[in-house]
Structure 1
Amino acid sequence: MDWVNGLSINARLKIKSSDKGIKGGSPLIHSEAVSYVDAGLAEGTIIDVVDEKGKFIGKGYYGKQNKGLGWILTRNADEKINASFFERKIKAALENRQSFFEDPSTTAFRVFNGEGDGIGGLTMDYFDGFYVINWYSEGIYQFKEEVLQSLEKLTDYKGVYEKKRFAEKGSYIDDDDFVAGERAQFPLIVQENGIHFATYLNESAMVGVFLDQREVRKAIRDKYASGKKVLNTFSYTGAFSVAAALGGAEKTTSVDLANRSRSKTQEQFSVNGLDYEAHDIIVEDVFHYFKYAVRKKLSFGLVILDPPSFARSKKHTFSAGKDYPALLEQAIEITEKNGVIVASSNCSTFDMKKFKGFIEKAFRQTGGNYKILEEHTLPEDFKTIKEFREGDYLKVVILKKLS
């Protein structure tokens, strides 16, 4: 039998005969695929997943989150879900990232990526000796001790922080994030391809830089920023702007609605030895800024468009799956001829093919032409599996506006 928190009896969950996802190898247990589940299950209960005839499909854990009711962890009926299971998975993930640990120019990266490394609902990031664990359901949080014991055994961590992302509607539970080891001194300065970033592992769900955009920032710095006027929209802490400035941009303009974006962006410029006063950092609704830029006839040689999947301001509601083409149209309008647009989305509800369709639609509406220069999905440390396509959520197309 398997065990967790003293429980040793596996509950049963039945999958509809019409479901193709789980039977096709997807580890996510979508609620609409379930025909029966034992009543009163506690979060983190080990479950046997069977078809409607009782045939074994897989074994996993019960954990409600916005994506479903839990995750399958193994297709082997004899494999036990216990401390040894977690240790094996984490050890394999760490070994898979060995080249990152050995790279002195990059000291922040993902070390465990959910279902890509065999445990859906759990991710871990590395920040120069410190680890940040992200829990995406109360179910996976029940395995906290197993995960911490594995980290203690397998690594020489300085300290461990956690992010509990399983509040109502998938939001973040804001409490003390420190878990084990020593507390970091903040800002904790990390490197990414030689770029420095100030991070705060104890501040809410977002620590200061999105690690999945590492290769895109490198491309901006090394290939596309030199001599350009750069507009970075939805700029957060200005990471793309810093990369552009280090790549020789004439000037960067960072626009974000959040008040904290100004001080955070100034800090990121400063830790890289850049004069933030030589750049524009604007706290404003991006949609308002586009109208302002058109009115003032501003134009940019490089425009970075990386909106959240969903955003709401006083006058605008943005949903990437519906509104991205219209947003891109506005970006196209203020991009110089032969200028470059970095079009990006982390929305998991559509794939790269549909995203390219959004780009095609936007240029068709504006009457312009373009050429795709390069494409990016998740980097190597964000391991994914082909059976769970929505796990490979990042889509970036770098394109040139021809007319």
Structure 2
Amino acid sequence: MKIPTLAIKLNKAGERAVKQGHPWIFENSIEKGPKDTAIAGSLCVIFDQRYNKPIAFGLWDPEEIIRIKLILLGNRLQLNGDFWSSQLRKAHSKRQNLIKKGITGYRGIHGENDHFPGLILDVYQQVGVLKIYSNAWKPHLDILSEKIKEVYGLKTIVIRFSRKIQMKNTFPYEEGDFIGESLSNEKIVFEEYGVKYYAYTQSGHKTGFFLDQRPNRHWVQKNAKGKRVLDVFSYVGGFGIHALKGGAESLTSVDISQHAMNVAEENIQLNNFDQSKWNPITADAFIALEELIEKEQQFDIVIIDPPSFAKQGKEVESAAHQYERLARLGRSLTDDKGVLILGSCSSRISLQMFEEIHHDAGITSKDNWKYLHYTLHDDDHPIEFAQSNYLKTIFYQKQVDA
């Protein structure tokens, strides 16, 4: 179909944000433009107020407060297959360092940060899971999926949708449909730093695996030899499998999902690790940690990487309390000279706020704790604007009491 073109002018605040590189245009920033009846995915040409010349291009999303998702900051754009190929090659090039390391599971497109707003591509071997969060991609999906296969060398794309789109799906695909070759089994094996995992590409949470903690999993592998490891919110065993690869003496995994624990067991078997070293606990994390404290359990490496507690601004205060409670529990379970690893995947909790929460939890130099380092995102999760800086992980070491 021919993609409609819309002429857009913004108010001063909206234009300033665009020129500063922000990828979102909110509906209240639009001074001149179409009514909401314009077709989702229409190409929006953003004109400068003063000179009446194009300054950016985006896709129209009539049902969202973020009415326009920007795809290019510039004054020229021919929206065709060559444009998408060029943008995809730029994204793919950012992942070359990981690909050269033999990593076969990585994020190929990280939404706005790769100039594909509302679109996520996770690659597992020659299978890509394309998760769609915006109806703006509907008229572009067929040509884009073909270009994705070409650039990333994929045989299959699995289509996944956000919950919101699933509730009112107008795409010509259903959740879990294939583009390209069909899969006889949704489980795809991928590898990172010598560890293998299964990705459940059709039914798994998000796209089938959480790839963003890769460098921190690698740290655990390199430091786990002979250690007692506790992995909280373990999901399908991400950190724990690396601990076993690194020669951990024991691994205790805590997660509320029995299904996730079953997949973790599959991953342990996939790597031929000794299951006698593994103690799975399927329970609420807060309750499980309190019970471990009551049993006077201690660990050399404690990893606490919960899901986001603050998806909305009004949840930040509650999230801070939960993070502090987890930090206190983790502190009590970490043995002398042990390492406590605390993660947050909420963009509404800044690194500084996260550090202050830990300070309030008694993880300070005065309390015999050493701040080792922090990490943010790996190369396949680039950060191009403030709201996309969601992941932060801090490493602390418990010092021997004087």
- Is the shorter-chain TM-score for this pair beyond 0.5, marking a shared fold? yes
Match among 77, 91, 94 for residue 89 of structure 2: 91
Match among 66, 73, 87 for residue 68 of structure 1: 66
Contact 1:123/1:135, CA 8 A, preserved across alignment: yes
The residue identity in structure 2 corresponding to 1:245 is L
Deviation sequence 1:316-366 (CA, Å, 0-9, x none): x99545531222112112211221111111111132222222222222699
Percent identical pairs in the alignment equals 24
Contact 1:302/1:339, CA 8 A, preserved across alignment: yes
- Does residue 1:341 correspond to 2:340, yes or no? yes
Say what the alpha-carbon RMSD is for the aligned residues. 3.1
> Quick one: distance in 2 between partners of 1:376 and 1:170?
36
Residue number in structure 2 paired with 1:134: 131
SS in 1 for 2:75: coil
TM-score, structure 1 as length reference? 0.86
Residue number in structure 2 paired with 1:9: 5
Residue number in structure 2 paired with 1:222: 222
Residue number in structure 1 paired with 2:232: 233
The residue identity in structure 2 corresponding to 1:12 is I
Residue number in structure 1 paired with 2:180: 180
281 and 151 in structure 1: CA distance in 2 versus 1, 3 angstrom threshold? same
> Quick one: distance in 2 between partners of 1:67 and 1:107?
36
Residue number in structure 2 paired with 1:281: 280
SS in 2 for 1:43: coil
TM-score, structure 2 as length reference? 0.87
304 and 71 in structure 1: CA distance in 2 versus 1, 3 angstrom threshold? same
Match among 160, 165, 169 for residue 163 of structure 1: 160
Q: How do 1:354-365 and structure 2 match up within 5 A?
A: 354-363=353-362
How many equivalent pairs are there? 391
Deviation sequence 1:21-49 (CA, Å, 0-9, x none): 43421112245645565212332122233
Question: How far did residue 168 of structure 1 move?
Answer: 6.1
161 and 360 in structure 1: CA distance in 2 versus 1, 3 angstrom threshold? same
> Quick one: distance in 2 between partners of 1:65 and 1:346?
27
> Quick one: distance in 1 between partners of 2:295 and 2:39?
58
**Structure 2, unpaired ranges of 5+:** none
> Quick one: distance in 2 between partners of 1:354 and 1:221?
28
Greater CA deviation, 328-337 or 265-274?
328-337
SS in 1 for 2:280: strand
> Quick one: distance in 1 between partners of 2:268 and 2:96?
30
Question: How far did residue 68 of structure 1 move?
Answer: 2.7
The residue identity in structure 2 corresponding to 1:243 is H
Contact 2:56/2:70, CA 8 A, preserved across alignment: yes
Residue number in structure 2 paired with 1:38: 34
Question: How far did residue 19 of structure 1 move?
Answer: 7.3
152 and 254 in structure 1: CA distance in 2 versus 1, 3 angstrom threshold? closer
Contact 1:115/1:121, CA 8 A, preserved across alignment: yes
> Quick one: distance in 1 between partners of 2:218 and 2:259?
25
- Does residue 1:149 correspond to 2:166, yes or no? no
Residue number in structure 1 paired with 2:268: 269
Question: How far did residue 374 of structure 1 move?
Answer: 2.4
Contact 1:137/1:166, CA 8 A, preserved across alignment: no
> Quick one: distance in 2 between partners of 1:170 and 1:401?
48
The residue identity in structure 2 corresponding to 1:179 is I
168 and 218 in structure 1: CA distance in 2 versus 1, 3 angstrom threshold? same
**Structure 1, unpaired ranges of 5+:** none
171 and 330 in structure 1: CA distance in 2 versus 1, 3 angstrom threshold? farther
Greater CA deviation, 320-329 or 65-74?
65-74
